Structure 1
């Protein structure tokens, strides 16, 4: 369904849990890690009455493409993949007030501009940056 003439911004909260960091490369100026990347937003179209005391709906993976998702991307990504061992490592919960929570396990390599003038006695600060590809 397309609604024309409505310019509504959606506030998306993003957080991540670092499962493991397994390489930092000074030569390639990157680092690799496995994370759980989570997004949370409200979609009023998915509100439901909690008459049966259902605290949340867990969507089956076959329905993931039927839910609107934010257009988040990782700015400093070199490469990454969703985990799909045995089953897809993603989940979507829908709460009575229309809140959507999406979580996915991602492993990737991310660029990090390193300043190596004092190598090996320096300190590096590597960012993990996400943003919307359509809205800045």
Structure 2
């Protein structure tokens, strides 16, 4: 099974950025642990702060991978383009968020991805990614 985790803007700062919300672990360290825990999964990772790069990556793997786990971060609430990319592909997408977006600012309550995602996992910290992975296994 081939699964791609895609992280959007500012998630490259995990471990440094607002540890009270996002924790103190880097995503790279977490990803290595996830790969170790699921050796039978061909697990890939991509991060970009650029909206168009995220859309291009979704389109690139959206017909050949078994699943995409997508944390579009702030683009979740602003990018019709990312929402359209998710709608256009055949690979199922699981939307994830580290924090509980509904306990934060009201603009974070809207997602352009959710209507076309297979499912949404919100608020379980980094564990959100593993829950998403388990859902596609």
- Give the alignment's TM-score, normalised by structure 1: 0.21
Determine which structure has the larger strand proportion and give its number: 1
Determine which structure has the larger helix proportion and give its number: 2
Q: Is the radius of gyration larger for structure 1 or structure 2? A: 1
- Give the alignment's TM-score, normalised by structure 2: 0.21
